[in-house]
Structure 1
Amino acid sequence: MTITQLQYVLAVAEHQNFTVAAKKSFVTQPTLSMQVQKLEDELDVLIFDRSKKPISITEVGKKIVAQAKHIVNEAARIKDVVDQEKGFIGGDFTLGIIPTIMPTLLPMFLKNFIKAYPKVNLIIKEQSTENLIRNIQDGHLDAAIAATPLGIEFIKERPLYYEPFVGYVPVNHRLAKVEKLNPEDLDISDILLLRDGHCFRDGVINLCNAPKNYAEERFQLQSGSFETLINLANEGLGMTLLPYLNTMALDASKKQNLRYFNSPSPAREVSLIYHKKELKIHITNALKDTISGIVRGAIAFQDVNIISPVSK
């Protein structure tokens, strides 16, 4: 039995297809199939039922797959121990970031990070919170940046910063003459929201105390762009709420429409999240230190009220 054989078993279990598993493992399909077969012969059991399409995992195979995950993870931990002992920070590191954070945060820290840690091959993927969680659990992401708290048992959350919500109120809106907003000023019926599936949308709905199954009655907007929401607001279709970092690059004419909240400002907690197994923790720590150091100077707000991204 080898670690490579166990890795092949995990790939087949995930993709339920030998050809796809081989492609993802960067080997030929006959090589992968042969190694899985050798492991089955050694154990004298069938891990996979090949008579079905897609292939399925046998009952004993499910137990083997679960154990294989532990063994492969612990084998990876050995390299982590050696790297940390040597003070080496390098190698592949896959980072997921949610769409409402990636466009503003990534340009702020990426150049500094790759300059400080040139031996780290940072692989960045934009994904929804739901996909981040699943990929962290499956081992496809080493860490992710998302709005928290999530309250998931196998995930560790380390806050990076607290980002206030800011109102974008066009001149013809009922709140245009209000200098500072309060949550009770908001009416969910005239707030333009991102499409369903974005945690920032859920945070806004929670802030407005709207029901979990809230649906827009005026029209259905399927957009993941804050720029689209701003443009629609300027057309007189309502107001919107923006994360603070998204307001920094607005031009002067649009900044005139920004309305901040009275203290404590509603805000989202943005955290670096990763599996509690803490693989590659030395790179995770370096990433956290880099981001926290940069963003701390950009967001001066201290008195905030964290709005959960989880729908009520």
Structure 2
Amino acid sequence: MKVGIVGLPRSGKTTVFSALTGQQPDPALPPGRTTLGTVRVRDPRLEALHKLYPPAKLIFAEVVFADVAAAPGRKGLDRASLTAMRDFDAFAQVLRGFPDETGAPPDPARELADLEAELVLADLDVVERKLPRLQKGEKPAFPAEKELLGRLKEQLDANRPLRLAGLSAAEARNLSGYAFLSQKPLLAVLNVPEAAVREPVPEALAAAAAERQVRVLVLSGEVERQIAELDEESAREFLRDLGLVESAAQRFIAAAYGLLDLISFFTVGDDEVRAWTIRRGTEAVAAAGKIHTDLEQGFIRAEVMRSEDLLALGSEAKCREAGKLRLEGKNYVVQDGDILHIRHGK
């Protein structure tokens, strides 16, 4: 999973990226070049399971965040940045929630609308270049491609993002090769001063986000940067002083999971205890392939336990005795918190 940290100039997006990942992008990077940072997904269920297998290696799931270098001096996004953004699975748009260097007050609702307009125009450009070729007889990549793109053009002409176009799952899959920007899930991140981290979302932004079906997360990039530099105990104390339960980094990761409809399943054993990330609705055979392609190809059955059952009973043997371990076939839909052991042939 790759989440792009995006935003208009001077929104603080790079500060937020650095606070989340500990990476500092090179300011000399040319427009469109991407800096990646990997963050572990802390999961208390996984950490509790590890206590049942103390010699085992503990391996967390990971989220990759990306920061795209923008052209200096521009008010919006340059073409190189827009092209790089097509590689992301979702966007987290950082909105300025503090006065700029001239003292001008923030207007995050306008920033949200401005970036959306740029994404819509970029997608409209793609559609308007493709449609004439299809109309002249170019072979479509999938049935009804011309008709679907015509529908999308109407949506984009109305300045509406494609994520609100009511696409079916099949239509979304067919369009995946286009990597439309406004089709990607979006999270709004309001970057505020330390004193404002517990204040409610401004009404204008809340309304603009609700209209676009976008969730808003409030954080202070500067506060998160300071937290990232502290040890675990000092960080907890700092959060308590601010009246917060957890860092925005963890809330950010949870929001990213929700944004992409992701869940975690676990594998456990004496060698490692590990979390794996899949999309909700993934079947057991595909989840096996996430672990290793050989397991998918030779899939026979999946032994399934719930993590809460193993934690409550204390061992796999007791889960088996209590009837909490079951066998499932390849079409079983894996649930968040499942523990899988894959039976497979050679």
TM over 0.5: no
Give the alignment's TM-score, normalised by structure 2.
Answer: 0.23
More relative contact order, 1 or 2 (CA 8 Å, 6+ apart): 1
